[in-house]
Structure 1
Amino acid sequence: MAMIKVAAAIIENQNGRILIARRAKGKSQEGMWEFPGGKLEPGESPEECLRRELLEEMGIEIEPYAYFGVNEHAYGAVTICLIAYKATYVSGEIVLVDHDEYRWVYREELREFTFAPADVRFVGMLGFERF
């Protein structure tokens, strides 16, 4: 069984809203929402991965500052090890590459969206956690 390490950023802006993005058509889990991020390159830390991925996929700079949690989820023959970090939004205007929509939402609104299965645990954790 293949294990893929993926990092996810839980980015909160100055208004207390969290950034979520919807997976574009043609991608696995298309139409589902997720915390943005991506696959770790060999030798890359989750924090480095998140800085690179958010710049590549959304054109924004972020600063990961605290480990949030990890969740493993099996998708058929592949298991995703999703490592989440809290991050602050630093700069840049969002331009979507891999997603077809994004939203800044309050944590109590997160449950109104259908998240990719690996991300669901973090939605639950955010409901009980204070930044």
Structure 2
Amino acid sequence: MDSKFPMRNTTLCYLEQDDAYLMLHRVTKKNDLNHDKWIGVGGKFEPFESPEDCLLREVQEETGLTLTSYRCRGVVTFLLGELTEYMFLYTADAWTGTLVKDAARNEGILEWVPKEQVEQLPIWEGDKIFFRLLEEDRPFFSLKLRYEDDTLAEAVLDGKPL
């Protein structure tokens, strides 16, 4: 990895049930880029993992659930200072197991949030864009989001500025 321009790969998944998303309120970790934000479940790739390997492992670790029906909705490229992050965005609508609310204790608190209330939560500005794309059931998309500190400075959808 070029240390001057670090890159990382991550997954993020929104489990859907009864017109609500399972969301993680990130309140636990110190020095967390996502501190106090509401996000989906997921995390960083481990060596030799595919996006699906990472997705299934992270969802299991953070929720106790094993996904049985999921869909890759798009790739979100985050530009955060010197860091480039490629996030594979998924939704899931079926799983086995029982939700273990404290499974995410190292990350935050899991809660089912009605979809119409998501935008009132403290979420990243760019997340509002991909929530809209999910709501529209848009086919696979590529979204580039450039942040300056916590402020969204640029958004590009499928190569076209928004």
2:132 alignment partner, SS class: helix
Q: How many aligned positions are there?
A: 129
TM-score after normalising by structure 2: 0.69
What's the offset of the Cα at 1:90? 2.4
Q: Is 1:10–2:14 an aligned residue pair? A: yes
- Return the letter of the residue paired with 1:53: E
The 8 Å contact of residues 38 and 53 in structure 1, kept in 2 or not, is answered as yes
Unaligned stretches of 5+ residues in structure 1: none
> Could you tell me how far apart the structure 2 residues matched to 1:111 and 1:127 are?
12
Q: Tell me the equivalent position of 1:92.
A: 98
Asked whether the equivalents of residues 71 and 81 of structure 1 are also in contact (C-alpha less than 8 Å), the reply is: yes
What per-residue deviation string (whole Å, max 9, x for no partner) do you get for residues 74-115 of structure 1? 222212111111213322222223332222122222111122
Q: For residue 117 of structure 1, report the CA deviation from its aligned partner.
A: 5.4
Deviations 1:26-59 (A, max 9, x none): 1222001111101112221212111111222232
Structure with the larger RCO, 1 or 2 (CA within 8 Å, 6+ apart): 1
Aligned-partner SS, 1:43: coil
SS at match of 1:111: helix
> In structure 2, what is the equivalent of residue 110 of structure 1?
118
Gaps of 5+ in 2: 139-162
Matched, 1:54 2:62: no
* In the alignment, structure 1 residue 76 sits paired with structure 2 residue 81: yes
* From 26, 30, 37, the counterpart of 1:32: 37
Contact 1:11–1:89 (8 Å) recurs in 2: no
Q: Are 2:19 and 2:114, in contact at CA under 8 Å, matched by a contact in 1?
A: yes
Task: Give the CA RMSD over aligned residues.
Answer: 2.1
Q: What is the percent sequence identity of the aligned residues?
A: 27
Query: TM-score with structure 1 length normalisation?
Result: 0.83
Cα distance, 1:121 vs structure 2: 3.2
Once the two structures are overlaid, the 10-residue window that deviates more, 106-115 or 118-127, is 118-127
Show structure 1 runs of 4+ deviating over 3 A.
116-121
